[in-house]
Amino acid sequence: MKPVTFPNACFWLLVVVCLSATVAPEAHGQSGWLPTSWFSSSGEVDSKAMYPLAERDGPWLVLATTFRGEGAREDARRLVQELRRTYKFKAYTHEKSFDYTGSQPGLGLNPDGTPKKMRYANAEQVVEVAVLVGDFASFDDPRGQKMLAKVKSLRPEALTGDHGKSQSFSDFRKMIGLERTAGKGPMHLAFVIPNPLLPEDYFSRQQVDRFVLDMNADVTHSLLDCPGLYSVRVATFTGSGTFDQKAIAAGEDDVELEGRLVEAAEKAHRLTASLRKSGWEAWEYHDRESSIVCIGSLDSKTVPGPQGTALHPEIVRIVRELGPDPTRLATGVVLPRTVEGIMLDVQPAPIHVPRAPEGWH
């Protein structure tokens, strides 16, 4: 899906309200290798901080609302403070300034052949600051859709109390032709957008983003270090980007979802270590949605054969020895193998090895 873009004249400055990555104390103590970047710092909120959006946030976020003009910074700061302190969201602000006082290229030419110049009817300098909720892996990430519904229904004091009559908030709504809608929250127009700080080619390139790099930074046998083009995925553990729609529909707590991410990482780490001890060239990899374990380092998935190309013999060996029991499979029973009590995938499959940017280490 193409990232959403906004015209410069109406940039929706974003306050990203992100789910707190709160994890139970015992989860922190399970292993010393888990990167600290996976967890939020303290729950304390700096009353003076603006919490500006960074490139590593996202890549997809919920745009909550935008402030414009005089008082925009203070109004945005007040909302971010409330979202962090009261609702326990991880909120950010993002700011952009526009200068409408200069001349702009016009259409056509003057009689002397020079380009026409035009000026804005309302010559002014404008600051815009808006509100997001983020760290979602994709546009349709179930966690993002859940957060979107939350944000739309909220009635924060910063937007409904005395400060809710903020001129910067109402001015922006009038500018785009919208007024408050009876019965709906002040942020009911929220929607999902990509992080505006990401490079234009971010969604078309295959490189791993900084947040995922940090997740794998302390991993000894990281798939990012695999020299081959391909490896064979033998185990998948779903993390915080769960596809368990029943859990989301039932309102499962976000802390539980974050706990799944840690549990998935721990299983992948233990399985990798166990496979390595057994002589397998095992690799582990963690992202926003899951943790996986792969085996092998291959430059191709196929090799020349007497009757054309054939599947690489190493892939065949891995599938035969770590895939479902072939004797049971012949009788129609699909029984995944287990290693030290950890279940492997039903069908091991070759995958492209993800790549970190040059100079990552």
**Per-residue b/e over 315-324, b at no fewer than 16 CB within 10 Å?**
beebbeebbb
Report the pLDDT value the prediction gives residue 71, as an integer from 0 to 100.
86
Residues sharing a CB contact under 8 Å with residue 171, sequence separation 6 or more, in sequence order: 68, 69
Extract the tokens encoding 192: 């999902």
Taking the C-alpha atoms of residue 271 and residue 235, their distance in angstroms, rounded to an integer, is 9
Beta bridge partners of 85: none
| pTM score, whole prediction | 0.48
DSSP letters for 212-231: HHHHTTT-TTBGGG--SSEE
Taking the C-alpha atoms of residue 153 and residue 181, their distance in angstroms, rounded to an integer, is 12
- At 252-308, the pLDDT tens digits run 555 566 778 888 999 999 999 999 999 999 999 998 888 999 999 998 888 887 877
Taking the C-alpha atoms of residue 328 and residue 133, their distance in angstroms, rounded to an integer, is 48
Q: What angle do CA 96, 191, 257 make, to 5 degrees?
A: 110
Residues sharing a CB contact under 8 Å with residue 123, sequence separation 6 or more, in sequence order: 100, 101
- At 301-351, the pLDDT tens digits run 888 878 778 999 999 999 999 998 777 776 777 788 999 999 999 989 999
Among 84, 67, 83, which residue's Cα sits nearest to residue 75?
67
Extract the tokens encoding 233: 């995925």
pLDDT in tens, the chain (361 residues): 434 333 333 333 333 333 333 333 333 333 344 544 444 444 677 878 889 998 778 788 998 999 988 888 899 999 989 988 999 888 889 998 765 555 556 666 667 767 766 554 555 567 889 888 778 878 888 888 999 999 999 999 998 876 655 666 655 555 555 555 667 888 988 999 898 887 665 665 556 777 888 889 889 999 999 999 899 999 999 864 443 444 444 555 555 667 788 889 999 999 999 999 999 999 999 988 889 999 999 988 888 878 778 999 999 999 999 998 777 776 777 788 999 999 999 989 999 888 876 555 5
Query: How many alpha carbons fall within 13 Å on the CB side of residue 74?
Result: 8
Extract the tokens encoding 324: 């479902």
